[in-house]
Structure 1
Amino acid sequence: MKVVGLITEYNPFHNGHYHHIKEARKLTGADYCIVVMSGNYVQRGAPALMDKYSRTKMALSCGADLVLELPVCFASASAEYFSMGAVSILEGIGVVDSLCFGSECGNIQTLKEASEILLAEPPLFKKVLNDALKTGKTFPQARMEALKVYLKGADDDLFSSPNNILGMEYIKALTSQNSSIEPITIPRISSGYHKDTLNQGNGTIISSATAIRGAVRNGSMLTDLINHVPKEIFHILSASYKKTWPIFEEDFSLLLQYKLMNETKSSLSRYLDVTPDLANRIKSLMEPGLSFAEAAKLMKSKQWTLTRINRSLLHILLNITEDSMNHYKVNGYSQYARILGIKKNSSPLLRTVAKKSRLPLITKVGGMEHKLPKSAESMLKEEFFSTALYNEVVYHKFGVMPKDEYKQGIILQD
């Protein structure tokens, strides 16, 4: 049995993701494809456009055999924690042979060289990094300068393109966890990650998830997306459009205002990614009536990127603390493997995972939180809370209450 693993958000699922699954299976000769997917919140520090169960259905309809949930503490974290959390699941279930990811450069050897430098942090790397930070550059900018010292002649996109950065972090995570999983990359095609307008043309079109979210936000007709998403999933989009999605960060604005009203500069510092300086900035600049996005833009500075601010605000809202992340880190990152969905004909895969997994395998959550080790119980409770909050936002926006974590079973797809 050959198994390929993918780490994803599918926010939302589009033709580029479909291409990724097909190419991953083709390149690796895999019998099965396991997806580790972010739940209701994503790495840029925002709620997912649509809920995790709808996105699970999309993945299973387009070539995934098993979808596992990336716990919210990692799904909403930095590239390093995002990668370590996801890789720890793929490694922990004991059946994955390769990890296939998209990248702008498409060169696995270059990404491996970069990841080795990031992992070793040689003296010159640290010096250039610290010198750049002292000039007021953000950490990603400073790290890019430090990498350039070692990878002379490499294209600037290698150091700044988001999928390249994630690719380096995936390889770094595999190495640090002594994993035998082989990293494989495929070139990202057609549309840049941050391109915010839909590509034009006839037939199958690959546009970025950023562009698709932007089109939805700007009021495009759902039919405008037909050529940008696989036909297998368009009915899923249509069935729940303006019933349970789209959800944006602005829908959490009042909740954020309430949360920040109950926090002090001191208490804010306990949340993941919130330093004392950033806590001061948040309390000083937050004003009544600001939306989530307006607040984040106001707080952005030379020192803190917009994504960093978004993640920090989301961690405050979801009660994700620095202490809890440190605890998970000490205990091997992800504390369980939770199944969101599976293809009905992939039962041999599930049996093998159940036999080989070193992580507790969660198929239903009823009473499960009391059967898990303490750290796993804490992580699952974070998931319950974050999902309940997401569902409340869906209800108050559309008048439809999604099933809670206890009533929503595993998605079984033909």
Structure 2
Amino acid sequence: MKTVGLIVEYNPLHNGHQYHFQQSKKLSGAEASIAVMSGQFLQRGEPAVVDKWARAEMALRMGVDLVLELPVAFSAQPAEWFAYGAVSALEATGVVDSLCFGSESGEIGWLHAVADAMSSESAEFGELLQRELKAGLPYPAAYGKAVAAFVPGTDAAALAQPNNTLGLHYLLALRRLGSAIRPLTLTREKAGYSQVEITDRRIASATALRRLLFEHGTLEELVPYVPEGTYEVLRREWLAGRAPVGWEAYARPLLLQLLQHSAEQLAEFHEVTEGLEHRVKQALPALGALGGADGTGVVEALLARLKTKRYTRTKLQRMLLRILLNHRKTQLSADVLRQGVPYLRVLGFSPVGRELLKRMKKTAKAPIITKVANAPEALPLLQLDLQATSVYALGYASPTDKDLFRDYYEPPVQL
């Protein structure tokens, strides 16, 4: 049974995702699909608009056969480690034949050429990257320029586009893991990764849809842009007080962390780099009445005060998230992350997914977890996921004890 792998967030799942899913199966010739999906917190350092089980259900309703959770250790990382963790999960299943990702270019040849040149660690490239960073460029732009200098002929602007960047890191991860999974790419259609404006009658970016949710406070406007299953799941979660979840829901627990730790203690958290701990401490007294003068929320006001040309919003959100979740540098060191995903947490499966799981019992290179209570004890990254679910539930209107410890109660979604 040929199986295609997808690396997703589905925040929320929309018509563009559905198109990518359908075309991925056609391009790969796959009979089955496995999605590695970020859990409660996402790559840009944001909480998911609905929880991981709701988004797994959206995926299954669309046709995905097996949904595995990308641990929070990897899901809220820069492109390199996000890609490495997700690809390591697909590789660890032992049943994935191909990986199909969306990209702005829709061409994989030039990405292969760059990946071939970049696959071994290079001191020369490190020096080029540091030079661009010292010039004051944000990391994505600095990385693109450094690659263009290291691999002549590379289009730095094209590489800086987010899906192209992720695509390169998927290829690098496949090489570094020695994986036989075949990479494929499709052109991202109609709406860009972060495009806020809606310019098509059926396709809008997840960013644009989240903006509709938070700014307009209604679900009905999403109807043209999402599959029926997505709308039904969103409506159920909305009525239950579990959606939409945004950063401002965590303002007080975040402030507690920022206020009770000294600058030196903040520096111990993952993603707090280059003296940002001092910038954070200096920004806190200027927040005024716990928010911006223009009525913005606490987190938004803090991000506005922290942001500079050097530090992107995404970098700052990831930093604040690691502080909120109490993730230390030692827990998420390069040595830890290089080991890849140490378990395969099942969030949901279809009847075909059940057959994949049976095969994986023989082929998987990591423990398969369907019940947390039965998980091996020596999995510190799993403990971070369990804690992340508890913190995530604080964003609900009225969290219950089962919400806080839902990982222990909730079985995989089955369709």
TM > 0.5: yes
Q: Secondary structure at the match of 1:286?
A: helix
Instruction: Name 1:349's counterpart in structure 2.
Output: 356
Asked if 1 retains the 8 angstrom alpha-carbon contact of 2:269 and 2:322, the reply is: yes
Counterpart-to-counterpart distance in 2, 1:401 and 1:121? 43
User: By how many angstroms is 1:276 displaced?
Assistant: 5.0
User: By how many angstroms is 1:320 displaced?
Assistant: 1.6
Matches within 5 A, 1:237-256: 237-242=234-239, 243-256=241-254
Instruction: Name 1:103's counterpart in structure 2.
Output: 103
Counterpart-to-counterpart distance in 2, 1:398 and 1:381? 20
Deviates more, 1:328-337 or 1:302-311: 328-337
Counterpart-to-counterpart distance in 2, 1:390 and 1:91? 28
Counterpart-to-counterpart distance in 2, 1:82 and 1:350? 24
Any unmatched runs of 5+ in structure 1? none
Instruction: Name 1:72's counterpart in structure 2.
Output: 72
Q: Secondary structure at the match of 1:195?
A: coil
Counterpart-to-counterpart distance in 1, 2:273 and 2:177? 28
Deviates more, 1:386-395 or 1:249-258: 386-395
Asked if 2 retains the 8 angstrom alpha-carbon contact of 1:68 and 1:337, the reply is: yes
TM superposition score normalised by structure 1: 0.92
Asked if 2 retains the 8 angstrom alpha-carbon contact of 1:197 and 1:215, the reply is: no
The count of residues paired between Structure 1 and Structure 2 equals: 405
User: By how many angstroms is 1:127 displaced?
Assistant: 4.3
Distance change >3 Å, CA 191–CA 222, structure 1 → 2: same
Counterpart-to-counterpart distance in 2, 1:197 and 1:220? 17
Q: Secondary structure at the match of 2:210?
A: helix
Instruction: Name 2:232's counterpart in structure 1.
Output: 235
Counterpart-to-counterpart distance in 2, 1:215 and 1:156? 32
User: By how many angstroms is 1:120 displaced?
Assistant: 3.6
Q: Does 1:168 align with 2:168?
A: yes
Q: Does 1:195 align with 2:192?
A: no
Any unmatched runs of 5+ in structure 2? 292-297
Which whole-Å deviations, capped at 9, do the CAs of 1:216-251 have from their partners, x for residues lacking one?
Answer: 111153221111001233211222225210011011
Matches within 5 A, 1:126-205: 126-149=126-149, 155=155, 157-201=157-201, 205=202
Which whole-Å deviations, capped at 9, do the CAs of 1:245-264 have from their partners, x for residues lacking one?
Answer: 00110111111101111211
Which whole-Å deviations, capped at 9, do the CAs of 1:44-68 have from their partners, x for residues lacking one?
Answer: 0010011111100000011200000
2:406 partner amino acid: D
Counterpart-to-counterpart distance in 2, 1:119 and 1:14? 34
1:282 to 276, 280, 283: 280
2:311 to 291, 304, 307: 304
Asked if 2 retains the 8 angstrom alpha-carbon contact of 1:117 and 1:147, the reply is: no
Q: Secondary structure at the match of 2:35?
A: strand
Counterpart-to-counterpart distance in 2, 1:321 and 1:167? 28
Q: Does 1:31 align with 2:67?
A: no
Distance change >3 Å, CA 118–CA 167, structure 1 → 2: same
Matches within 5 A, 1:202-241: 205-219=202-216, 221-241=218-238
Asked if 1 retains the 8 angstrom alpha-carbon contact of 2:117 and 2:151, the reply is: no
Counterpart-to-counterpart distance in 2, 1:364 and 1:285? 43
Instruction: Name 2:391's counterpart in structure 1.
Output: 389
1:325 to 318, 328, 332: 332
CA RMSD of aligned residues (A): 2.1
Deviates more, 1:50-59 or 1:114-123: 114-123
2:187 partner amino acid: P
User: By how many angstroms is 1:121 displaced?
Assistant: 5.6
User: By how many angstroms is 1:69 displaced?
Assistant: 0.2
> Identity rate of aligned residues, in percent?
35
Asked if 1 retains the 8 angstrom alpha-carbon contact of 2:144 and 2:157, the reply is: no
Instruction: Name 1:270's counterpart in structure 2.
Output: 268
Asked if 2 retains the 8 angstrom alpha-carbon contact of 1:84 and 1:173, the reply is: yes
User: By how many angstroms is 1:154 displaced?
Assistant: 5.2
Counterpart-to-counterpart distance in 2, 1:157 and 1:389? 37
